[in-house]
C-alpha cells in the first residue's frame, strides 16, 4: 500500500546537503513531513534544514558518511531513539567516477561502491529493519492497516545502459536498481514500498564533484568543464526529480525513469538492448 499522506510523517534523506537530496527534503517538508537531513557536509545539511523550517515543520541535520557501516548504524539508532522510526527513507547520497575501466583504480572503485551501493545497502537494511519491526509489533486492523513506510533509492538512467566512459558509475547504479526491485518483493508483505528513481542528466553538483580518471591533468580538466557545461545546457532542475519522488511514494511505483534520456534508456533497455551495447562504445567527447 502506498504511503499517501506526508503530514506528520518522519522522512530521512541522505545526501541532503544539495542537489537531489536538498530538493527532495524540501518537497517532503513542504507537504508536512518532519525531515532528517543527513550529509557528509554538516553545514550543508544545516542549511537544508533551515530552509525546511520556513516551509514545513522542520527537522534535524546530521553528519554521516553513508559508506561507513558503523557511522550508519549509529545514525539509524539515534534517529530511532531521538525521533522515532521513519516513515520515509530516501537513499540519495551518490558520487561519480568518470573514465575507462582500465584507468579506474581500486581506491576509486572502493569509494564509489562505498557511497553509491553500500550507502543504499546500509540505509535500506537499517531503516528497513526498523520499519519491519514496527509493523510486526503493532496490531493490524482490517479497516486501518499499518503502513510500514516507503524506501526510495536514487539510481540513475545509467542503471539501464552500459557506457565505456563510466563503467564504475553504471555498475553501481544498476546494482541499486536490482537491489531496489529485490527488496520491494521482500518488503511488500510488510506494506513497505520500495522505489528506484532513475534520473537522467540534471543540474546537481555531481558533475562538478566527479572524479575523472585517465589522461593528463589538462585533459581531465577539459572533460570536467565539458561535463559541467553539458549539465548546465540540459538545465533540468532537481526540483522536478523531487516531484517525481513524491509522486512515486504516493503511488508506490517500482521504477521511475525521469526526464527524456531516462525514459529513452529505460525503453531501449527493454526493446533493443543491442542498440545500447552499440551506443556504449561511443567514447566521451574530448
Give the residue-averaged pLDDT of 252-261: 96
E strand or H helix at 187:
helix 167-187
The verdict on residue 56 lying in a domain is yes
**Of the listed 6, 20, 118, 169, which one is catalytic?**
169
The verdict on residue 1 lying in a domain is no
Model pLDDT for residues 55-95, shown as the tens digit of each residue: 999 999 999 999 999 999 999 999 999 999 999 999 999 99
Question: How far, CA to CA in Å, does 70 sit from each of 63, 64, 91, 139, 145?
Answer: 13, 10, 17, 32, 34
Range in 44-48, 139-143, 184-188, 267-271 the model is least confident about? 139-143
Q: Which residues 6+ apart lie within 8 Å of 235 measured at CB? A: 203
E strand or H helix at 193:
strand 192-199
Dihedral angle at the C-alpha atoms of 246, 252, 258, 259, nearest 10 degrees? -80
The verdict on residue 4 lying in a domain is no
pLDDT (0 to 100) of residue 2: 47
Model pLDDT for residues 42-66, shown as the tens digit of each residue: 999 999 999 999 999 999 999 999 9
Provide the residue range defining the domain that includes 28.
10-279
The verdict on residue 284 lying in a domain is no
What is the value of pTM for the model shown?
0.93
62 is catalytic: no
E strand or H helix at 97:
strand 97-98
Which grid cell is 266? 529505460
b/e map of 18-43 (b: 16 or more CB within 10 Å)? Answer: bbbbbbbbbbbbebebbbbbbbbeee
The verdict on residue 64 lying in a domain is yes
The verdict on residue 268 lying in a domain is yes
Model pLDDT for residues 96-106, shown as the tens digit of each residue: 999 999 999 99
The verdict on residue 145 lying in a domain is yes
Confidence of residue 252 (pLDDT cuts 50, 70, 90): very high
Query: Cell 533509492 identifies what position?
Result: 153
Angle between helices 238-251 and 19-30 (to 10 degrees): 50
The verdict on residue 2 lying in a domain is no
Strand partners, 197: 154, 256
Assign residue 53 the CATH number of its domain: 3.40.50.720
Count of CB atoms within 10 A of residue 273's CB? 13
Structural domains in the chain (count): 1
Amino acid at each position: 500500500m502506498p504511503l499517501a499522506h506526508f503530514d506528520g510523517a518522519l522522512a530521512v534523506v541522505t545526501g541532503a546537503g544539495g542537489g537531489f537530496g536538498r530538493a527532495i527534503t524540501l518537497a517532503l517538508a513542504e507537504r508536512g513531513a518532519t525531515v532528517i537531513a543527513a550529509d557528509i557536509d554538516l553545514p550543508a545539511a544545516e542549511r537544508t534544514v533551515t530552509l525546511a523550517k520556513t516551509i514545513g515543520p522542520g527537522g534535524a541535520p546530521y553528519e554521516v558518511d553513508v559508506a561507513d557501516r558503523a557511522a550508519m548504524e549509529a545514525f539509524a539508532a539515534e534517529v530511532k531513539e531521538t525521533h522515532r522510526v521513519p516513515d520515509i527513507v530516501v537513499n540519495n547520497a551518490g558520487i561519480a567516477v568518470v573514465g575507462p575501466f582500465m584507468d579506474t583504480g581500486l581506491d576509486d572503485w572502493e569509494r564509489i561502491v562505498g557511497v553509491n551501493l553500500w550507502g543504499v545497502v546500509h540505509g535500506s537494511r537499517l531503516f528497513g529493519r526498523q520499519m519491519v519491526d514496527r509493523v510486526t509489533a503493532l496490531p493490524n486492523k482490517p479497516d486501518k492497516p499499518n503502513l510500514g513506510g516507503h524506501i526510495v533509492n536514487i539510481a540513475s538512467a545509467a542503471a539501464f545502459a552500459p557506457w565505456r566512459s563510466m563503467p564504475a558509475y553504471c555498475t553501481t547504479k544498476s546494482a541499486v536498481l536490482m537491489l531496489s526491485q529485490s527488496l520491494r518483493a521482500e518488503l511488500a508483505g510488510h506494506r513497505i514500498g520500495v522505489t528506484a528513481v532513475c534520473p537522467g542528466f540534471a543540474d546537481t553538483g555531481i558533475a562538478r564533484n566527479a572524479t575523472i580518471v585517465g589522461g593528463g591533468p589538462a585533459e581531465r580538466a577539459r572533460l570536467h568543464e565539458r561535463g559541467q557545461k553539458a549539465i548546465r545546457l540540459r538545465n533540468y532542475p532537481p526540483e522536478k526529480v523531487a516531484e517525481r519522488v513524491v509522486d512515486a511514494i504516493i503511488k508506490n511505483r517500482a521504477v521511475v525513469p525521469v526526464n527524456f534520456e531516462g525514459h529513452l534508456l529505460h525503453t531501449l533497455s527493454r526493446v533493443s538492448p543491442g542498440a545500447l551495447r552499440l551506443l556504449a562504445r561511443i567514447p566521451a567527447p574530448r
